[in-house]
Structure 1
């Protein structure tokens, strides 16, 4: 339930920060928000634990600034996880706009003022996305971007291609738009941001990109949910397949699948199926991705048959997996690499 608030005390921006036992990183993240060039904001830290003394000490320090609010997730929801904590924070947010900031990301000082100005200048926009630069220990003024942007790129296609042009902390959302599409899917165990942004784009929410770096995404650490071991476990369980299927269903039901997007989604379906099998998942789990792609005509019949046969006959010969090699040679898998994206871009140009 959304807590009613006095419009006179409504901040321009609410920043929702879910956290779980990462006190030093949380301190840096919230401090980057409090250091913004605009002051009309609130920070809602939602603790998915509640018993971590280090986190409570950090909150006690940060609470000296009256714009910081603290919530224990377990007092508001039974189920844990990043998606639930974001929903708890969203329910208690009072701002006209919302930003979901991961507890290990950093906002640059001009971030909120710049995004808010673009959003308020066009009442038809539902959200505005800033550019990101990954980092390890401290943001650097130079280095590769999260993703290079083209002015005419199709963001929905990129998400379907599993090459998202932004991540969770990228968009500043108009509150009314979030009320329209609903909160984060609490039934997902992985791929929350993938499904969430696909749902927003499938719903036709208008957005703008600011091609200026205004935040930093911290590369995965050993204690990160995005660590490689967690990544393998999620693929083995089929968690990413489930998120892909849900996302594709959103796009299909909204009738937003043109030939180029369908092509991209078909290759992603094969890739998710391959990753599932490669990390020890079952044939049945992997097939869910292929079945969804076939259901929405993202794979031709012969492609579906070839991919299904490879998924069924998944064997290893030393370090070699013949099925994976076959799918690669047939062009049914576009990996999330520069060469893979280049091939995908060249392929979809024929559909424009």
Structure 2
């Protein structure tokens, strides 16, 4: 116990949970079951009213110094971005990896990712393939699949190549359940944007990372992204909020890139996509009004 408490771990894993008791044990078990054992797990309870905190305390008692339960000072619900930042404030590892409370890691994720990161000290981030996971439910009715990476796998990419592809929806985003990043990069660029409580919250960090840091893209599968009707992405799609959320994100990103002195190439790419998306949304809005 004392050794774990005093020695800094190589990796800090962070799970944010809000009323996620249904899947939480499976997520935590996928961290505990990693072949790479030099980690700490911080679970941030974002104001849950179910048994999520009870579940985490059980792991913390069994794995003292390895698993810790965190919350906001007021014990309230502040959204996933603020909760990830809450975990980052307590993180001690040289690397940070996130996992949503309804997703899981494959057993070799940390071992393989840390090995690649340590072979190239300039890398800020690494990600691979994420399984879009329907088969967890016996009656899912849909097969598992992968989004195309959009680039050749098992290669390093210098900025801003991946950001430009991501803006054009031509590359898979570095999903939070998949990526491993250096703590120093998070400290340099800042974490997540608290005002993004649901959609595009992950891209508020990843877009900055792809704009300024070398990134390794692997062909390996390291995470399973559970598909279910209760997820944030499913809820957003049901109410048709994705387009507006994307425009909000692009406007935010344009301002951030200006503040951080991004190149004209990066800012020009954002302007073009923002103009196109705004025009498309306006056109659809006009058509809907005419059809009433």
CA contact (8 A) 1:251 1:257 kept: no
Q: What RMSD, in angstroms, separates the aligned Cα atoms of the two structures?
A: 3.0
**Offset of 1:265 from its aligned partner?**
5.8
1:294 is aligned to none
> Per the alignment, do residues 243 and 257 of structure 1 end up closer, same or farther by CA in structure 2, a change over 3 Å counting?
same
**Offset of 1:312 from its aligned partner?**
7.4
> Per the alignment, do residues 146 and 272 of structure 1 end up closer, same or farther by CA in structure 2, a change over 3 Å counting?
farther
Residue 243 in 1 paired to residue 243 in 2?
Answer: no
**Offset of 1:138 from its aligned partner?**
2.6
**Offset of 1:314 from its aligned partner?**
4.1
Partners of 1:119 and 1:128 in 2: CA distance:
7
Residue 144 in 1 paired to residue 152 in 2?
Answer: no
Secondary structure of the residue aligned to 1:144 is: coil
Partners of 2:128 and 2:169 in 1: CA distance:
19
**Offset of 1:164 from its aligned partner?**
4.8
Normalising by structure 1, report the TM-score: 0.68
CA contact (8 A) 1:74 1:80 kept: no
1:303-329 C-alpha deviation (Å, 9 max, x unpaired): xxxxxxx3774445559xxxxxxxxxx
- Does 1 or 2 have the higher relative contact order (CA < 8 Å, sep 6+)? 2
2:120 is aligned to 122
Secondary structure of the residue aligned to 2:231 is: coil
Q: How many residues align?
A: 273
Larger Rg: 1
1:169 is aligned to 177
Residue 224 in 1 paired to residue 231 in 2?
Answer: yes
**Which of 166, 173, 176 is 1:159 aligned to?**
166
Residue 200 in 1 paired to residue 209 in 2?
Answer: yes
Structure 2: unaligned runs, 5 residues or longer? 138-142
Bigger fraction of residues in strand: 2
> Per the alignment, do residues 136 and 256 of structure 1 end up closer, same or farther by CA in structure 2, a change over 3 Å counting?
farther
Which stretches of structure 1, 4 residues or more, deviate above 6 A after TM superposition? Answer: none
**Offset of 1:185 from its aligned partner?**
0.6
Residue 134 in 1 paired to residue 140 in 2?
Answer: no
> Per the alignment, do residues 235 and 123 of structure 1 end up closer, same or farther by CA in structure 2, a change over 3 Å counting?
closer
